[in-house]
């Protein structure tokens, strides 16, 4: 069995490793996929990412595949129903923010372009997880811009985790088997 060096945060759990190997850091430009990741990162606030991964399939089912238009049309009745589902993140503020954010994203035809404008100009290479920041000037700028538009659950740390997730930054450590492949993908954007 082949042993691959990975970023240490994903070791010890198959679901974490699959997410790390297949999704984390792969550049995403599709509006719908970007919206889902932004919502998932907001749902994580105060929780471990593994909690989100374990509830992700149920959230995708319950939240209409994170379809922006369908979520934008949701109401308090939907929130009440969701609050009774233990398979999802049952936090009223996060659920209401998701609807709010869907309404804003639905009205923005340039959502992807808007978000990707915050991609850092230079790539940082991390030798260890200790050098990976929790936020940056770019994530702070993204947070300010999103909040100004009325988005919620989009603080600088959430925005930076989102940037990592959708490949705006490559925070795979330098000896991780995914680092070079992700760097090559980013050079292609």
DSSP string, 111-161: HHHHHHTTS-SS----SSGGG--S--HHHHHHHHHHHHHT--S--HHHHHH
The single-letter DSSP state of residue 176 is S
Q: How many CB atoms lie within 10 A of CB 166?
A: 26
| Residue in 98, 136, 106, 133 with CA at minimum distance from that of residue 118 | 136
Q: Which residues are catalytic?
A: 19, 41, 49
Length of the chain: 189
User: Angle at which helices 137-149 and 156-165 pack, to 10 degrees?
Assistant: 110
Contact call for residues 101 and 152 (beta carbons, < 8 A): yes
| Rounded Cα gap, residues 99 and 81, in angstroms | 14
């Amino acid at each position: 069995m082949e042993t691959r060096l990975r970023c240490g945060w994903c070791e010890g759990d198959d679901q974490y490793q699959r997410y790390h190997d297949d999704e984390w850091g792969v550049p995403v430009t599709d509006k719908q996929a970007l919206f889902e990741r932004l919502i998932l990162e907001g749902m994580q606030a105060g929780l471990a990412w593994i909690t989100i991964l374990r509830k992700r399939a149920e959230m995708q089912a319950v939240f209409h595949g994170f379809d922006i238009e369908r979520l934008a049309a949701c109401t308090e009745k939907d929130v009440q129903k969701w609050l009774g589902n233990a398979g999802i993140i049952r936090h009223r503020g996060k659920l209401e923010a998701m609807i709010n954010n869907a309404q804003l994203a639905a009205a923005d035809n340039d959502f992807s372009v808007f978000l990707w404008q915050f991609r850092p100009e230079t790539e940082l290479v991390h030798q260890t997880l200790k050098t990976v920041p929790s936020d940056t000037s770019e994530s702070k700028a993204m947070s300010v811009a999103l909040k100004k538009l009325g988005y919620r659950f989009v603080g600088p740390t959430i925005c930076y985790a989102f940037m990592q997730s959708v490949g705006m930054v490559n925070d795979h450590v330098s000896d991780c088997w995914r680092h070079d492949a992700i760097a090559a993908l980013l050079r292609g954007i």
